[in-house]
A = this chain, B = another copy of it.
Amino acid sequence: MNAVASLPRPGAVPRAVPPAQPPQPRLGLLGTGTVGAAFVARCAQLRGQGVALPEFAWLSNSRALAGCDPGAAGEVLQRLRAAPARGGGFPPWVESEGLRRGDVIVDASDSDVVASWHSEWLLRGIHVATANKLGAGSDSVRAQAIVRACSEGGGRYGDAATVGAGLPLLRSIRALVAGGDRIHAIEGVLSGSLAWLFDRHDASTPFADLVRAACAAGYAEPDPRIDLSGEDVRRKLLILARAAGFAIEPREVVVESLLPPALATADAADVDARLGMLDTPLRERHSAAARRGDTLAYVGRVDAAGARAELRALDAAHPLRAGAGTDNRVAIWSDRYHARPLLIQGPGAGAAVTAAALLDDVLAITRGCSRGSALDDVHRQATA
């Protein structure tokens, strides 16, 4: 399905006499899961603190789209969450709602179709703040289209929420590159759920029980296989790699899946019953590491030789050895940081920090260019 093909061409948009005052930017929210709900809640909280924010024009999920009066976003969100499933396609976000240049789309979905629209919006001067990794974390044609669209259309792309839930990773990598540094390698614990699982995991606890606890706490996806397969890490590693200037395609990232084939291919309804298949192999990996004083972590690495994501045993001196809970941590080696890396660490999973990162980007966009952020750097890369 190519949703983009159904859009009217930019030339078809009528160009009336420009109004004396440009219209206020408006917010559109896509995705009403835990991140979308936390985003709506954080908007209400910051408004209560007196922070100026655009109003919601509409909210949408894969089942419905609803316009939104000022102050009613919470109610509309609840209504959309309760909407019945519908077949066939997505609501026609653009045509029906007449998005304008300067409006801000917040993509809190995990939809590949929505991600395929990012560049189209940017090209029309509509800004995008996204937690959805399938824009810049998919194939390079799509990632490059996003960079080009920012440059040509003037829309700004806020992607701080896609890796590390807003930890200052992308911004710091882009700042190093802008300052003339060459990035040698990036290595990171990039999955908050896998960080939490291996932080808790020891010989005494069946791994399957930990997975169930991570799902219940909202650290892992409802289908934990997205995390356990390493696919989530693949996308994040691609986003980091591109910020650092490494040209790489999804298929070139060597990813170790933690899933035995019978679990990987199971129907969703059978996943829980088969989680126990993880226990023995991971207990053995843990014991082998512990005998050497090492700890296990699922680590992604990219350097000039390529990219891989895998379960690794880290010795006591490894820079990624620290951290607890859902902490993401990323080590960056560059010309400047060649002997010891720059390390950034902090909570990297959960709806609250992800929503806060989305709102950071919305604020940076709506406050304009005097508010420097990662957004500017994407735009710059396109024009360099």
Contacts and interface: CB of A to CB of B under 8 A. Distances in A.
A343 interface: yes
Interface string A143-160: 000000000000000000
Given A345-B342, A372-B375, A376-B371, A179 B356 contact: yes
Contacts of A181: 356
Interface stretch (A244-252, A279-287, A346-354): A346-354
Contacts of A345: 342-345
Contacts of A51: 180
A227 interface: no
Interface stretch (A6-14, A82-90, A318-326): A318-326
Contacts of A175: 168, 171, 360, 373
B344 A324 contact: no
Contacts of A42: 180
A167 interface: yes
A327 B346 contact: no
A302 interface: no
Contact of A377 (B49, B369, B372): B372
Interface in A164-204: 166-168, 171-172, 175, 178-181
Interface in A203-220: none
A292 interface: no
Interface stretch (A102-110, A229-237, A332-340): A332-340
A179 B359 contact: yes
A301 interface: no
Contacts of A317: 324
Given A168-B172, A342-B345, A370 B379 contact: yes
A359 B42 CA distance: 37
Nearest to A342: B346
A341 interface: yes
A346 B356 contact: no
Contact of A179 (B339, B340, B360, B379): B360
B343 A339 contact: no
Contacts of A340: 324-327, 346-347
A274 interface: no
Nearest to A345: B343
A284 B119 CA distance: 63
A312 interface: no
Contacts of A371: 178, 372, 376-377, 380
Contact of A343 (B179, B344, B359, B377): B344
Contacts of A255: none
Q: Which 4 pairs between the two chains have the least Cβ-Cβ distance? A: A372-B372, A179-B360, A372-B376, A342-B346
Interface of A: 42, 45-46, 49, 51, 166-168, 171-172, 175, 178-181, 317, 319, 321-322, 324-327, 329, 336-337, 339-347, 352-353, 356, 359-360, 363-364, 367, 369-377, 379-380
Given A322-B343, A343-B345, A372-B373, 14 more contacts: A49-B180, A168-B342, A178-B364, A179-B356, A180-B363, A324-B340, A327-B340, A336-B356, A370-B380, A371-B376, A371-B377, A372-B372, A372-B374, A372-B377
28 contacts: A42-B180, A45-B180, A49-B180, A166-B336, A167-B342, A168-B175, A168-B342, A178-B371, A179-B359, A179-B360, A180-B356, A180-B363, A317-B324, A322-B322, A322-B343, A324-B340, A325-B340, A337-B347, A340-B347, A342-B345, A342-B346, A343-B343, A343-B344, A344-B344, A369-B369, A370-B380, A371-B372, A372-B375
